[in-house]
Amino acid sequence: MSMMSCCPFCSQQVLSIDLQRHANSHFEDQDDDQQHHHVQLVDHIQSQTLPCSPQPSSTNLMSLLKNCLDTEPAATTSFLSGHVDHFHSIDFEDVGWGCGWRNIQMLTSHLLFQRPEAKPLLFGGSGFVPDIPSLQTWLEVAWNKGFDAPGANHFNRKISGKRAWIGTTECAALFRSFGLRACIVDFTTSSTGTSSSKSTPKLVGPMDRYLNRPHHDASSSNSNNNKCVGEIVKGHQLLFNWVRSYFSDSNMTTKSGVIVTQKAPLYFQHDGHSRTIVGIQLKRLPNGTDQHNLLILDPAHKTQVLESCLSKKFGWQRYIKRGVHTLKKTEYQLCYIDPGIATGAEMQKLKTLDSTHFEF
């Protein structure tokens, strides 16, 4: 059976052996430098490789996590993403700087598995999660297409081969370049006054409906979200409430158990490190309040260790669960990916990154 690839310029599916000829036909009237750039891109699509190490989990890590959460006490509800492979940083390869790329790999593993509309568009339709060098080249491709110009300038438009930290803006620019609706949310303390993002202005956007904000305009929300209006939330609990609303959407159920959602995992950034949020757990306390735990996959943890603990249902909590008391930083960023594929004018708008901003 012949392999198919996605043209990076018109998104048409073509036979892999015909990809270069088809792609070159888009640029017959361009000068030699432009044609050379596009030939390089096609060559990259054909030569990109899977991660040699680490390999994603050989078992369904999220199924193991669900089994563990099923054994939690009554009056506990957990919301989870579906399929997510874990990718850990490798000694002498990317430890200390590669966490952002590993989180992008985790997000990609979910999108390839659960977003059929995205699979033929991501990374030239390769159908697999690329290694870090390939991801670096794809980010440069996104910059060359005009996505996140301030971020591109920050890196002098060159990141391949560098041990450079990346964050939510690079994650969003990369996925947006494929037409995915990647969005950024900033959480900062009122005393900070600045975002950790290099390039995102602070705006209150459509995700405002997910937060309990004292100045929320109830008239602009639909009936499913009006229940969130009026409560003033302080401190890092604001971030937890946002994550809860993201995963549960309008399904603010009190039913105990594990609910597997269609939501993509969240890229979770703070100063010095980033992780992937794959869900959230709510435990109803005797006083009627909810205790929250983020459910995270950390690139700093070895996949084999996570698999072992989850398989044995012992010791996994200290790797996966993070309560509100663990958030010590003054600034956090999240990147989430809404469903659907952007085209036309919307695709052009995605080239300019902005963010929804909330203060603790």
Residues 268 and 332 sit within 8 Å (Cβ to Cβ): yes
| Active-site residue, from 85, 148, 186, 298 | 298
| Active-site residue, from 22, 273, 290, 354 | 273
What is the 8-class DSSP label of residue 73? Answer: P
Q: Name the residue among 357, 359, 302, 360 with its Cα closest to residue 168.
A: 357
Q: Name the residue among 68, 138, 82, 149 with its Cα closest to residue 110.
A: 82
Q: How far apart are CA 342 and CA 179, in angstroms?
A: 5
Q: How far apart are CA 70 and CA 52, in angstroms?
A: 34
Give the angle subtended at the CA of 68 by the CAs of 62 and 72, to the nearest 5°. Answer: 135
User: Which residues pair with residue 292 across a beta bridge?
Assistant: 282
| CA–CA distances in Å: residue 306 to residues 16, 268, 326, 349 | 37, 19, 20, 40
Residues 294, 298, 303, 305: what is their CA dihedral angle, to the nearest 10 degrees? -70
Q: Is 148 a known active-site residue?
A: no
Residues 331 and 270 sit within 8 Å (Cβ to Cβ): yes
| Active-site residue, from 6, 68, 99, 228 | 99
Q: Is 18 a known active-site residue?
A: no
Question: Would you report the helix, strand and coil content of the chain in percent, each value rounded to 5?
Answer: 35, 20, 45
Residues 208 and 356 sit within 8 Å (Cβ to Cβ): yes
Q: Is 99 a known active-site residue?
A: yes
Q: Name the residue among 188, 333, 340 with its Cα closest to residue 264.
A: 340
Burial of 175 from C-beta contacts in 10 A (0-12 / 13-18 / 19+)? buried
Catalytically active residues are 99, 273, 298
